[in-house]
Amino acid sequence: MLNQALHTSQKQVRFYDLDMSTTVFFTNYLKWFDSIAADEFLRARGIGWEKIYQDNVDVAIANTNFDYKKSLFMNDLVDICIEEVILGNKSMQLCGSFYKHDNGDLVATGKIVYVFVHARSRQPIEVPGQVREKLS
């Protein structure tokens, strides 16, 4: 729910976000969740990817799952909410929802599972201490 979100980002739907049916092309939900909401959520908690990369740590997206509920159209404003963080030994799962800003309608739900990896070897590693500390 919007009022229980850990973080909310907003995105206005643009023409290039649409498919031939004039609704948002569904893969955009994944893109917006990862590149807008997750990034802003982590930065707001003092977790900058630049610092993590300097420590030879990267993340790989291991799993995604997004469920469509309602359509969005050009110029709609959408609230992208991070609602839950689940930290594993080597992974971070962000779960959330998309709501139409003007009426609160649930548009989609989803999650992304990130696995922390060594930047060179690409082998899974423990969740970095600074990430665990700031998200626990």
* β-strands 91-100, 77-87 pairing: antiparallel
70 SS3 class: coil
**How far is it, in rounded angstroms, from Cα 96 to Cα 114?**
14
Tokens of 133: 């500390």
For residues 124-129, give the mean pLDDT.
Answer: 97
pTM over 0.85: yes
* β-strands 57-68, 106-118 pairing: antiparallel
Quote the domain boundaries for residue 117. 2-135
Give per-residue pLDDT as tens, 33-90.
999 999 999 999 999 888 889 999 999 999 999 999 999 999 999 999 999 999 999 9
- pLDDT of 1: 56
* CATH number, domain containing residue 43: 3.10.129.10
Residue 23's Cα: distance from chain center in Å? 21
35: exposed, middle or buried (C-beta count within 10 Å: 0-12, 13-18, 19+)?
exposed
Arithmetic mean of pLDDT over the chain:
95
- pLDDT of 118: 97
- pLDDT of 2: 63
**How far is it, in rounded angstroms, from Cα 116 to Cα 92?**
8
Domain count for the chain, please give it.
Answer: 1
